Amino acid sequence: MGCGMGKSEPLLKECHKESISVPAISAALLIQRWYRQHVARLEMRRRCTWKIFQSIEYAGEQDQIKLYNFFGFLMDHFTPASSESKTDLNSSLLHRNLISHIFRKNEICLDTEWKRYFCYKSIEVTKSYTGPHLTFPMTFCGVSKLVEAFKHKEQLHARYVLQLLEETWRLLRTFPNISHVIACHTKPITICGDLHGHLEDLLLIFYKNGLPSSDKPYVFNGDFVDRGKHSLEILLILFGFLLVYPNDVHLNRGNHEDHIVNLRYGFTKEVLGKYRVHGKKILKLLQMIFSWLPLATVIDNKVLIVHGGISDTTDLDKIARVDRQKYASALRPPKMKVHGCMTKMNENREREAFGQVEGRRRVCSLTYHSSAPDHRHDLPRRSLNNTPVCSKLDLSVDEKLNRRCRLSGFDQARCELKKSDSYLESKTTETDLDEWKQIVDVLWSDPMPQNGCIPNEMRGGGYYWGPDVTEEVLRRNNLQLLIRSHECKQDGYEFCHNRRVITIFSASNYYEVGSNRGAFIRMGPDLVPHFIQYQASTTCRELTLRQSVGWTERSALQALREQLFVHRSDLISAFQEFDPNNKGMISVTHWASTTERVLNLGLPWRVLRPQLVSSTQHGMMDYQQWIKELSITEPKLEQYSLLPFQISDNSILDTMYKNHSNLETIFRIIDTDHSGLISFKEFHQTWELLRSHLKTEISAKAIADLAQSIDFNKDGSIDINEFLEAFRLVDISAHN
Amino acid sequence: MAPKKDVKAPAAAAKKAEPAKAAAAPAPEPAPAPAAPAAVDLSAVKIEFAADVIDDYRESFGLFDRVGDSKVAYIQIADIMRALGQNPTNKEVAKMLGNPTPEDMTAKRVEFEGFLPMMQTVVNNPNKAVYEDYVEGLRVFDKEGNGTVMGAELRIVLSTLGEKMTEAEIDALMTGQEDENGCVNYEAFVKHIMSV
């Protein structure tokens, strides 16, 4: 380093005292100014790029929640025994039946049924299997062997997977909701954030920090799965270590430890792809395991670690008491019934067989000691009017229902119409809703710089909480620091709220190669966090800042152009509102505001304009030309318009591209046996569901034609993956 | 536009600075020059940017608001201007802000309407340098007149003169520029730094 300032500064002054000329200073200033401008512009580009990726990511999450809320609405409002027989209602019932199984609680509750269903003993490990062999009980050697095997890209036999998962399930059931850890002088605690299937990052952490052991306690703060390609391997490794060191490895549940989210974000697909025969069982087992994951970890009663964050109502005591395994998916409260006190409701009360059997049955845990009141089993049915808390209940449940109506895209009128037809079951759900809220808030919330606590509309779940809420919640629960994950940070970690909150994120290169570093925390009994950062992959370490910003930016713009492309018909109609004389031109200002209105991503379109729009004249642009250019800039997009088969209706294509994630999610839900195949009828019903959710018109003929044209095997069933590939719908999410 | 005399700026004539690639090119007439070397009277600055350009600036400004109060901290002002294509020195910006204390720089915030006259002032007093200016500037350190400067000397200069850079900044700047003898070919260097 040529900057030996200590020695050379006086030296410089000695030698050049007389000759420090104005030109020298000017030269220095020039370079310095140039450099600072360069860095500032780079930073601006980096921030924009970040915003693009983040917005698209969160929009997807919001979409998923909307879809799920729509399903929830179907579930709540359309009963088998309704007296109405409108065709609309009938089709809704049909839809409901298609999806009802995802709401069904875990059917297996007795140990004997368990064993029968998940019996791995009958699965033979043949001689042709070259992967690792596991013996139980698990040992450190065994897990290390597993790590090595995964490093060498081997796959664990389904039998061992099931066995390992079963052992994990047994263990997790004995854990409380909140893990308590004591920080020890000789054993600093390591805290890791989101991994999202990035096996290389986990391996890098182990390389830098050592494997988990009784001398090396670890906390993993959720989101182990989805997006990356090795989610299952990560789970198996973490569970393996958990089995060997149950007191020293602590896992927190994340919002992605949720089978509904997994349908959309790749984990379901990964498992089914890797385990064609036993994948379904594995997923089912995981669904239960996820619900048994602890919700939080507390170090020395001073440091709280949760995946998402908090809200103004976060209460550790309440969280400690919830019956966490009830919430297989945090996206939906436990069987929420419409309360009979609703003023707009019809008095029609019919029994809903489905709900009645399901709703209150608890899994009898063998060793789990619940302090929750047992009488929750059989709550007295509250009658319409005669409870003092009735009116209070009314409002909150009513409010909540309305909110969910809105969230799922149903307007008020439609809600009310259906309400009068639907069944009313007046079970009290206030405690359940409260519990559910505690869980959703810690799994989904994000911090914000301003004071206050507002619903997290971007993600669709949890809250945005401010520094005042941090202070209050920490004070109330006697804590001094909150560590959370859930948001990707460029440097792998970030402080906020006067350094009372740390975000720790362990998946490097999350959005793109070179987009961000990952980090983990080491903490001793002084509870001072020390950060270690890293970035997996050798190629990106050699990139300069400018190169890595450029690379990531290119990738983000590509993703953005795809989003613009799939919304092109909506965009053009919206632009035409500002082009009454049909000149094909629109002002830049209108372009920016309209594009934001259609895409709803909260992006700085004016700043992005030079990258997205090739030319403007006097503040006007040719939007038709622009849309055409989008596909030319991204040649990949052009092929979306050139498909090997005819489709009678172009709008169906547009709907498909815009909603490919929803479509795929619905497919996977309908495909109950996870075979990857659905029948024509089910395919049609998928579209019906989608149409219902989106409230758009798609002609039945178009769907029928589509089904015909993609029955590649001509056997009356459609292969989901083939379908998605054929329409290049896979490409859209290829870089995710 | 008549070049403004500024002791600190390089002697070479400055080209008119263009704000961030805006559709409509702003055509400001020469704004009133700052009267005294002390504070800049921002209220006297006439905003001459086109509406489109102002909208562009407003959006960029918003990107720097990390708090959500539609303002930015004093310390961010210089960077926002740079991100928008200007090239003020830190001292120029401090002057416009009334020479605030370091505490003020992080604590005080300004809204967009307050930022705009500052931006106009900077646009009116561009410090844009061209390739030749940088090369001339670096030639000062070319002791042997052979087209190279010692990387080490450059580092010392950048960290001790002018608006000093940190070691990390200098490292980032010099990455890959020094040959095995620690020399920097400054024409190549300038091409490198201008190729953003």
Q: What mean pLDDT is predicted for residues A63-86? A: 68
Q: Do A604 and B141 touch (CB under 8 A)?
A: no
> A690 vs A524, which has greater pLDDT?
A524
Report the gap between the CA of B154 and the closest CA in chain A (Å).
8
Quick one: which of A375, A314, A384, A313 has its CA closest to A343? A384
Contact A492, A162 (CB under 8 A): no
Strands A446-447 and A463-465: parallel
- Predicted confidence at residue A313, as pLDDT, reads 94
Q: Residue B184 is inside which H or E element, if any?
A: strand B183-185
- Predicted confidence at residue B138, as pLDDT, reads 82
Residue A86: strand, helix, or coil: coil
Report the gap between the CA of B133 and the closest CA in chain A (Å).
8
Mean pLDDT of chain A: 77
Residue A305: strand, helix, or coil: strand
Residues of chain A with C-beta less than 8 angstroms from the C-beta of B60? 44, 604, 606-607
Which residues make beta-bridge pairs with B109? Answer: B73
Q: Do B52 and A588 touch (CB under 8 A)?
A: yes
Concatenate the DSSP letters of all residues of A398-446 into one string: HHHHHHHHHHTT--HHHHHHHHHHS-------HHHHHHHHHHHHHHH-E
Using the predicted structure, report yes or no on whether residue A405 has a pLDDT greater than 80: no
User: Per the structure block, which two tokens stand in for A39?
Assistant: 């860095």
**Which residues of A belong to the active site?**
256
- Predicted confidence at residue A362, as pLDDT, reads 24
Q: What mean pLDDT is predicted for residues A46-75? A: 84
Q: Is the ipTM of this complex over 0.85?
A: no
Residues of chain B with C-beta less than 8 angstroms from the C-beta of A32? 89, 158, 162-165
Using the predicted structure, report yes or no on whether residue A713 has a pLDDT greater than 80: no
Range scoring the smallest mean pLDDT among A89-103, A271-285, A475-489, A517-531:
A89-103
Distances (CA, A) of A95 to A64, A380, A690, B166: 17, 31, 10, 64
Q: What mean pLDDT is predicted for residues A132-161? A: 94
What end-to-end distance do the CA atoms of chain A give, in Å? 40
- Nearest by CB to A449, from B8, B68, B141: name it: B68
Q: What mean pLDDT is predicted for residues A655-675? A: 79
- Predicted confidence at residue A168, as pLDDT, reads 95
Q: What gap in Å lies between CA A190 and CA A523, rounded to an integer? A: 6
Q: Per mean pLDDT, which of A53-62, A302-311, A456-465, A671-680 is the most reliable?
A: A302-311
Digit-coded pLDDT (tens) for A97-119: 777 777 765 554 555 666 677 77
Q: Residue A463 is inside which H or E element, if any?
A: strand A463-465
Percent of chain A past pLDDT 90, that is, above it, reads 38
Q: What mean pLDDT is predicted for residues A454-477? A: 92
Q: What gap in Å lies between CA A57 and CA A460, rounded to an integer? A: 12
Using the predicted structure, report yes or no on whether residue A170 has a pLDDT greater than 50: yes
Contact A691, A100 (CB under 8 A): no
User: Per the structure block, which two tokens stand in for A277?
Assistant: 């025969």
- Predicted confidence at residue A29, as pLDDT, reads 85
Contact A225, A196 (CB under 8 A): yes
- Predicted confidence at residue B126, as pLDDT, reads 77
- Predicted confidence at residue A432, as pLDDT, reads 78
Digit-coded pLDDT (tens) for A613-640: 888 888 889 998 898 888 776 666 665 5
- Predicted confidence at residue A449, as pLDDT, reads 92
Range scoring the smallest mean pLDDT among A304-318, A491-505, B177-191:
B177-191
- Predicted confidence at residue B108, as pLDDT, reads 92
Query: Residue A441's pLDDT band (boundaries 50, 70, 90)?
Result: very high
Concatenate the DSSP letters of all residues of A670-714 into one string: H-TT--SEEEHHHHHHHHHHHHHHHT----HHHHHHHHHHH-TTS
Contact A191, A483 (CB under 8 A): yes
> A216 vs A350, which has greater pLDDT?
A216
- Nearest by CB to A9, from B81, B153, B160: name it: B160
User: Per the structure block, which two tokens stand in for A717?
Assistant: 């069933």
Contact A296, A305 (CB under 8 A): yes
Spatial CB neighbours of A127, under 8 Å, sequence gap ≥ 6: none
Quick one: which of A290, A249, A241 has its CA closest to A268? A290
Residue recorded with tokens 């002697």: B11
Residue A668: phi and psi, rounded to 5, are: -70, -30
- Predicted confidence at residue A444, as pLDDT, reads 95
Burial class (CB in 10 A: 0-12, 13-18, 19+), B36: exposed
Contact A310, A442 (CB under 8 A): yes
- Predicted confidence at residue A666, as pLDDT, reads 83
Q: What mean pLDDT is predicted for residues A696-709? A: 73
- How many helices (H) does chain B have, and how many strands (E)? 9, 4
Which residues make beta-bridge pairs with A220? Answer: A192, A251
Residue recorded with tokens 């049924």: A113
* A:11-70 residues touching chain B, CB 8 A cutoff: 12, 20-21, 23-44, 47-48, 51
- Predicted confidence at residue A30, as pLDDT, reads 82
Query: Residue A270's pLDDT band (boundaries 50, 70, 90)?
Result: very high
Strands A529-534 and A585-587: unpaired
Q: What mean pLDDT is predicted for residues A230-242? A: 97
Using the predicted structure, report yes or no on whether residue A700 has a pLDDT greater than 50: yes
* B:18-77 residues touching chain A, CB 8 A cutoff: 20-21, 23-24, 50, 52, 55-56, 59-60, 62-63, 66-69
Q: What gap in Å lies between CA A598 and CA A570, rounded to an integer? A: 7
Query: Residue A78's pLDDT band (boundaries 50, 70, 90)?
Result: low
pLDDT tens, chain B, 196 aa long: 344 343 433 333 333 333 343 344 444 444 444 444 456 677 888 888 888 899 999 999 988 888 888 999 999 999 999 999 888 888 889 998 989 999 999 889 999 999 999 999 999 887 777 788 878 878 888 888 888 988 888 888 889 988 899 998 888 888 888 888 889 998 888 887 776 5
Q: Do A40 and B82 touch (CB under 8 A)?
A: yes
- Predicted confidence at residue A80, as pLDDT, reads 57
Q: Where are the beta strands (DSSP E) in B69-169?
A: 71-73, 109-111, 148-150
What is the chain B residue with the closest CA to A613?
Answer: B23
